[in-house]
C-alpha cells in the first residue's frame, strides 16, 4: 500500500490513555497482507464483532484500520486488514500495537483486570516498596513489562507474570509481588544503602 493510500492518523485518537492494546503485530503471515499478532486480551473472540481497529506504531503514531478477517493461530491471532494486500504492506505493521478505544473494551469478570488499569499502582516486593507503575509495555517475551518508577527517578522493568504476584488490588492501587532474587538488581542496580536495607528485611 502506497503512503498516500495508508489510512490517515485519526486526530481524535492522539491521547494514549484513551486506548487499550488487544494485540501486537510480530510478523507477516501469508502472501495477501495478513499479519500474525500476539494476543494481549482474554477475549480474542471479540475480534469477530470489531471492524474498526487502530494501529499504534513505535513512533507513537496511531492509524485507523478496517478489519476484513481474522482467525486464531498457535496461541495468537492472524489479522487481515482492508487495503493491506501484500507482504510489503504487512511489513509496515510489524511492531504495531492493535488497539481499540477504552470505551469499547469488553466487560471483565470478577478477578480480572485490564493492564492499562495498573498505571499508578504502588508495587512492593516481599513487603518492601519498589515504586509506582508508570507504564505497561510489550516486549519480545510472553509477559508484558511493568515500568516501575522509584522515588529517586530510577526505573525497573518487571514482567507482569502471575507466578510473581502475591496480591493484586487495583481498586487500592496496590500490587504486591515476590520477585526472584536479583531481578531488580539486574535491571536497575540498587545502591549500597538499598542493598543493606534489603538484607536487613530478609533477616
The predicted-structure confidence for 21-75, as pLDDT tens digits, reads as follows 889 999 999 999 999 998 877 678 888 888 999 999 989 999 999 999 999 988 8
The last residue of a domain, from among 75, 104, 133: 104
The pLDDT tens digits for 141-176 are 667 889 999 988 889 999 988 899 999 888 899 999
Measured distance CA(203)–CA(188) in Å, rounded: 23
Statement to judge: residues 95 and 24 lie in one domain: yes
Q: Nearest CA to 30 among 84, 87, 76, 73?
A: 87
Please check whether residue 129 lies inside any domain of the structure.
Answer: yes
Statement to judge: residues 79 and 132 lie in one domain: no
Q: Which residues contact residue 170 at a Cβ distance below 8 angstroms, ignoring those fewer than 6 apart?
A: 113, 117, 118, 121
Question: Which domain range does residue 175 map to?
Answer: 115-186
Please check whether residue 198 lies inside any domain of the structure.
Answer: no
Statement to judge: residues 74 and 129 lie in one domain: no
Please check whether residue 154 lies inside any domain of the structure.
Answer: yes
Q: Nearest CA to 150 among 117, 196, 188?
A: 188
With pLDDT > 90 as the criterion, what percentage of the chain qualifies? 46
Please check whether residue 195 lies inside any domain of the structure.
Answer: no
Rg (the chain; Cα; Å): 19
The last residue of a domain, from among 104, 129, 147: 104
Please check whether residue 169 lies inside any domain of the structure.
Answer: yes
Please check whether residue 200 lies inside any domain of the structure.
Answer: no
Q: What mean pLDDT, rounded, does the chain reach?
A: 81
* CATH number of domain containing 44: 2.40.30.60
Q: Which residues contact residue 161 at a Cβ distance below 8 angstroms, ignoring those fewer than 6 apart?
A: 143
Statement to judge: residues 59 and 89 lie in one domain: yes
For the chain, the domain total comes to: 2
Q: Which residues contact residue 138 at a Cβ distance below 8 angstroms, ignoring those fewer than 6 apart?
A: 21, 24, 38, 40, 97, 144, 145
Statement to judge: residues 55 and 84 lie in one domain: yes
* CATH number of domain containing 168: 2.30.30.240
Statement to judge: residues 92 and 125 lie in one domain: no
Statement to judge: residues 78 and 142 lie in one domain: no
**The three three-digit cell numbers of residue 52, written as one number:** 474498526
Please check whether residue 53 lies inside any domain of the structure.
Answer: yes
What is the pairing mode between strands 145-149 and 128-137? antiparallel
Check residues 189 and 89 and name the one with the higher pLDDT.
89
Statement to judge: residues 24 and 88 lie in one domain: yes
Please check whether residue 109 lies inside any domain of the structure.
Answer: no
Amino acid at each position: 500500500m502506497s503512503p498516500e493510500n495508508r489510512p490517515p492518523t485519526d486526530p481524535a485518537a492522539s491521547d494514549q490513555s484513551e486506548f487499550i492494546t488487544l494485540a501486537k503485530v510480530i510478523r507477516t503471515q501469508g502472501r495477501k497482507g495478513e499479519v500474525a499478532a500476539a494476543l494481549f486480551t482474554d477475549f480474542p473472540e471479540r475480534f469477530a464483532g470489531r471492524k474498526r481497529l487502530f494501529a499504534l506504531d513505535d513512533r507513537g503514531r496511531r492509524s485507523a484500520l478496517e478489519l476484513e478477517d481474522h482467525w486464531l493461530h498457535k496461541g495468537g491471532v492472524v489479522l487481515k486488514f482492508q487495503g493491506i494486500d501484500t507482504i510489503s504492506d504487512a511489513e509496515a505493521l510489524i511492531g504495531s500495537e492493535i488497539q481499540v478505544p477504552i470505551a469499547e473494551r469488553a466487560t471483565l469478570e470478577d478477578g480480572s483486570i485490564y493492564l492499562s488499569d495498573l498505571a499508578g499502582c504502588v508495587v512492593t516486593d516481599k513487603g518492601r516498596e519498589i515504586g509506582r507503575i508508570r507504564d505497561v509495555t510489550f516486549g519480545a517475551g510472553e509477559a508484558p513489562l511493568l515500568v516501575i518508577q522509584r522515588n529517586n527517578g530510577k526505573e525497573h522493568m518487571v514482567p507482569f507474570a502471575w507466578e510473581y504476584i502475591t496480591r493484586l488490588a487495583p481498586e487500592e492501587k496496590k500490587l504486591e509481588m515476590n520477585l526472584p532474587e536479583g531481578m531488580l538488581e539486574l535491571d536497575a542496580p540498587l545502591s549500597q544503602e538499598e542493598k543493606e536495607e534489603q538484607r536487613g528485611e530478609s533477616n
